[in-house]
Amino acid sequence: MKGITQRIEEAISDLAGIKQITSQSSAGGLSTVNVKKRTDTNLERLIEDVRNRVNSIIGFPELAENPQIYRDEFSNLAAYVVISGERSDDELQPIARQLEIALKKHPAISAVENWGKAIFPASGRTGSGQPSPLRDFVQRSR
């Protein structure tokens, strides 16, 4: 795989807009090449340039899969936002959800993920006083 990795690196190394190229090859046959762009570079254009260069490489091994070129959405983590206070989780969850929705609407933010989202309430009742789905499931399973 090292030959494939090196060939890809060589094919894209002189592209305008690249800040850094890092790569990794494994004995299991996986080759990964990561490209970081300069801040003033149009990402979509750079991805297309990389795709064109990689697709023009002739002579990959017969068993090699076609290279996959994609945007890594989570490589530029900008911030963690923590919602906390002297309130219950039932009170904090809607606040976190409102913030998540507002951030997703911002044009300069490409991704937002709520890692503290409650799937099932831990208590036997939801914030609205209704029985929780988890409690109902546990009771039916007995």
Residues 18 and 10: their CA atoms lie apart, in Å, by 13
Q: What percent of the chain has pLDDT over 90?
A: 27
The predicted model scores a pTM of 0.52
**DSSP codes joined into one string, 2-55:** HHHHHHHHHHHTT-TTEEEEEEEE-TTS-EEEEEEE-TTS-HHHHHHHHHHHHH
Q: Using pLDDT thresholds of 50, 70 and 90, give the confidence band for residue 49.
A: very high
Residue 82 has pLDDT above 90, yes or no: no
Residues 29 and 27: their CA atoms lie apart, in Å, by 5
Instruction: Mark residue 107 as left, alpha or beta (left: phi above 0; alpha: psi -120 to 50; beta: remaining).
Output: alpha
Least confident among 35-39, 89-93, 106-110: 106-110
1 in helix, strand or coil?
Answer: coil
The position carrying tokens 């340039």 is 49
* DSSP bridge pairs for 18: 37
The amino acid at 57: I
* Domain range annotation of the chain: 2-55, 89-141
Give the C-alpha distances (Å, rounded to integers) separating 121 from 77, 124, 125. Answer: 29, 7, 7
> Are 120 and 134 contacting, i.e. CB atoms less than 8 angstroms apart?
yes
Q: What is the mean pLDDT of residues 40-50?
A: 93
Residue 113 neighbours by CB under 8 Å, 6+ apart: none
